[in-house]
């Protein structure tokens, strides 16, 4: 006797929906969840991936002890914090000022915002190479400081103390356009009645900027700080192209050190340990930001 199962109409609809999302779920399982837990597993091993799968030996967390004695790791943490805590506030504040100026005083708003946004969507390799040329001994930065009377200007990317500031300047330039675009959209949605009331009360532009505009844009500021900070902690391409972590450890950041440990020293377990430390650092930063979210968005 053959049993026949007849699915209801709702069950067929559900199965059709599951069939459509199955490829995406499978992709997430293979390319996200499996690497996530596999990296945690190998972070407790001394795995040289060139020897193949299975050729690992457990060190029971020795990697997590070793990294805090590693001068390159300590330098990477310090450089990452300096980079993030410099790029984020300068980018956000500069973008806010530019967005307000463009909105109030510029006529060709769209072309100006497009020009500012172009570096953000341009190929990072091309942008980095252009900036390497700008920092060269015959580049505009060197020629400018020479014209200003600096007889022996720094070598910029070749100088231990100037390499990281040089990359920070490039990062601010390339990221500020995106933040300007976000702020400009938010400014368009602000109520003009508040500004008109401030005009009636005799408030000047600076007072309105600090007392009205900045508080009103606090949700946008919170969003930009969160996304820009996370992106800054994951900086890699400018370091790889412009300095390769040098000179010395001056521009060595966490993501670049993860890359170096994995694909130069072939210490995949050690690299996974550093990546989990970075994950924990980003998690702490994100939780702190979310905890302070109510303060940021308290303006109504």
Please tell me the predicted confidence (pLDDT) of residue 299. 44
Please tell me the predicted confidence (pLDDT) of residue 206. 85
- For the chain, give the number of residues: 300
Which residue in 276, 229, 248, 279 sits closest to 67, CA to CA?
Answer: 276
Q: Which domains does the chain have, with CATH numbers?
A: 70-296 (1.10.3720.10)
Q: What is the pLDDT of residues 65-118, one digit of tens each?
A: 999 999 999 999 999 999 999 999 999 999 999 999 998 888 888 899 989 999
**Residue 45 phi, psi dihedral angles, 5° rounding:** -130, 165
pLDDT surpassing 70 at residue 296: no
Please tell me the predicted confidence (pLDDT) of residue 278. 93
- Mean pLDDT, range 138-147, rounded to an integer: 88
Q: What is the pLDDT of residues 54-66, one digit of tens each?
A: 788 888 889 999 9
- Output 124 or 198, whichever has higher pLDDT: 124
Q: What is the pLDDT of residues 168-215, one digit of tens each?
A: 999 999 999 999 999 999 998 887 888 888 888 788 888 888 888 888
Q: How would DSSP label each residue in 184-202? A: HHHHHTS-HHHHHHHHHTT
Write the CB contacts of 206 (distance below 8 Å, at least 6 apart in sequence).
none
Please tell me the predicted confidence (pLDDT) of residue 2. 56
**Residue 292 phi, psi dihedral angles, 5° rounding:** -90, 10
Alpha carbon distance 212, 194 (integer Å): 8
Q: How would DSSP label each residue in 105-154? A: H-S-HHHHHHHHHHHHHS-HHHHHHHHHHHTSTTSHHHHHHHHTT-SS--
Q: What is the pLDDT of residues 205-234, one digit of tens each?
A: 888 888 888 888 888 998 899 899 999 999
Please tell me the predicted confidence (pLDDT) of residue 300. 45
Q: What is the pLDDT of residues 257-294, one digit of tens each?
A: 999 999 999 999 999 999 999 999 888 888 887 777 66
């Amino acid at each position: 006797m053959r049993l026949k199962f007849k699915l209801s109409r709702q069950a067929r609809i559900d199965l059709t929906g599951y069939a459509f999302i199955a490829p995406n779920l499978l992709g997430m399982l293979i390319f996200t969840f499996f690497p996530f837990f596999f990296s945690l597993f190998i972070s407790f091993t001394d795995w040289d991936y060139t020897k193949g799968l299975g050729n690992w030996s457990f060190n029971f967390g020795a990697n997590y002890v070793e990294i805090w004695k590693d001068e390159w790791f300590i330098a990477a943490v310090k450089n990452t914090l300096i980079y993030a805590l410099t790029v984020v506030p300068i980018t956000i504040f500069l973008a806010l000022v530019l967005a307000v100026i463009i909105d109030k005083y510029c006529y060709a708003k769209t072309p100006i915002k497009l020009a500012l946004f172009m570096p953000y969507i341009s190929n990072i390799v091309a942008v980095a190479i252009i900036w390497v040329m700008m920092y060269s001994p015959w580049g505009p930065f060197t020629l400018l400081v020479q014209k200003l009377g600096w007889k022996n200007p720094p070598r910029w990317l070749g100088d231990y103390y100037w390499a990281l500031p040089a990359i920070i300047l490039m990062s601010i330039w390339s990221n500020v356009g995106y933040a300007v675009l976000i702020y400009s959209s938010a400014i368009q949605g602000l109520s003009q009645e508040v500004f008109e009331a401030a005009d009636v009360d005799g408030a000047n532009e600076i007072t309105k900027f600090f007392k009205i505009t900045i508080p009103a844009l606090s949700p946008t500021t919170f969003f930009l700080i969160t996304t820009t900070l996370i992106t800054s902690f994951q900086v890699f391409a400018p370091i790889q192209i412009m300095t390769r972590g040098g000179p010395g450890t001056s521009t060595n950041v966490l993501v670049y050190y993860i890359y170096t440990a994995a694909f130069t020293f072939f210490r995949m377990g050690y690299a996974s340990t550093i990546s989990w430390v970075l994950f924990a650092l980003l998690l702490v930063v994100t939780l702190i930001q979310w905890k302070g979210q109510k303060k940021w968005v308290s303006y109504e």
